[in-house]
């Protein structure tokens, strides 16, 4: 299969955006449009599973109404080929030069990453991400999100909001436009989310590919010793307090291994287990 990342172009992009990345508010990030060959993204859209297919992992609580899909055998062959390229040496070197963070390690399990989808009224509350890999003693440092939404309109919402640490102001709203790459640093204080319900037409959804990158250790100033949960959710100023489903949210935070087991279990075996359990 064709390789879609060109080392020279990635190096050029990293050089172009490195200063902007470090200076951007409210924390280091950058938005790069027309990131890669659209031919590849068209093929991914052809394979992208429909919302009703049982292979999706559904989040249904007051903070998260989204679908996630990852793991070997759960996505199309071409999509898997592209996922691997985001874990390749050329992309890692691009990220290291762009972010200034050395020795980045990809996640071959795509834990929490892979394919994401927000359907009508879907959302993702403002939060600070989990900071430790579920399987390895590694620290999550960088997120990369590639959006797949053609003909996306402002009135559909779906913007990823970047908030200041004190949750007093939204500093940036990123629309999930087709072939737009968003890269940002992950710390216990970097608050972001898609808190407004998606209002796209029926049959349409907010689609993206998500990738997470790790290092062995992290600066002490990125760690919040008071962070109790795996993911720290919060509400925006002016929003009604969330009556969160504590079983779903806190259960997910306290038992990340269960989700890991689910994602690496072949679909046939997992479905069989689920039918027996019922």
The reported pLDDT for the residue numbered 246 is: 39
Q: What's the rounded Cα separation, in Å, for the pair 30 and 23?
A: 10
> Considering the domain 7-277 in this protein, what is its CATH number?
2.60.120.620
Tell me the three state secondary structure of residue 177. strand
Report domain extents, the chain: 7-277
The reported pLDDT for the residue numbered 244 is: 46
Burial-class residue 233 by CB neighbours within 10 Å (0-12, 13-18, 19+): buried
Q: For residue 254, which of 246, 242, 262, 243 has the smallest C-alpha distance?
A: 246
Give the pLDDT of the chain (278 residues) as one tens digit per residue: 899 999 999 999 999 999 999 999 999 999 999 999 999 999 999 999 998 898 999 998 889 999 999 988 889 999 999 999 999 999 999 999 999 999 999 999 999 999 999 999 999 999 999 999 989 999 999 999 999 999 999 999 999 999 999 999 999 999 999 999 999 999 999 999 999 999 999 999 999 999 999 999 999 999 999 886 678 899 999 888 765 433 333 333 434 455 445 444 444 444 444 444 44
Burial-class residue 235 by CB neighbours within 10 Å (0-12, 13-18, 19+): middle
Tokens of 108: 């071959």
Q: What's the rounded Cα separation, in Å, for the pair 239 and 216?
A: 37
């Amino acid at each position: 299969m064709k390789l879609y990342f060109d080392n020279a172009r990635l190096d050029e992009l990293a050089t172009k955006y490195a200063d902007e990345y470090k200076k951007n508010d409210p924390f280091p990030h950058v938005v790069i449009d027309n990131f890669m060959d659209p031919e590849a993204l068209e093929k991914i859209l052809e394979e992208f599973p429909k919302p009703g297919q049982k292979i999706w992992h559904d989040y249904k609580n007051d903070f998260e109404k989204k679908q996630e899909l990852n793991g070997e055998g759960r996505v199309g062959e071409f999509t898997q080929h592209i996922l691997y390229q985001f874990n390749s040496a050329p992309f890692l070197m691009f990220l290291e030069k762009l972010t200034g963070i050395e020795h980045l390690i990809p996640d071959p399990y795509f834990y929490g990453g892979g394919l994401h989808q927000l359907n009508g009224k879907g959302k993702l509350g403002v939060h600070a991400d989990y900071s430790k890999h579920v399987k390895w003693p590694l620290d999550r440092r960088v997120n990369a999100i590639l959006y797949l939404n053609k003909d996306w309109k402002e009135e559909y919402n779906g913007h990823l909001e970047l908030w200041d640490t004190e949750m007093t102001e939204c500093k940036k709203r990123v629309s999930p436009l087709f072939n737009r790459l968003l890269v940002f640093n992950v710390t216990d204080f970097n608050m972001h989310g898609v808190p407004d319900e998606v209002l796209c037409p029926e049959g349409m959804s907010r689609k993206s590919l998500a990738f997470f990158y790790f290092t062995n250790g992290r600066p002490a100033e990125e760690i919040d010793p008071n962070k109790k949960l795996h993911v720290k959710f919060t509400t925006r100023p002016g929003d009604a307090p969330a009556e969160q489903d504590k079983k779903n949210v806190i259960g997910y935070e306290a038992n990340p291994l269960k989700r890991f087991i689910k994602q690496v279990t072949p679909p046939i075996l997992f479905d069989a287990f689920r039918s027996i359990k019922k």
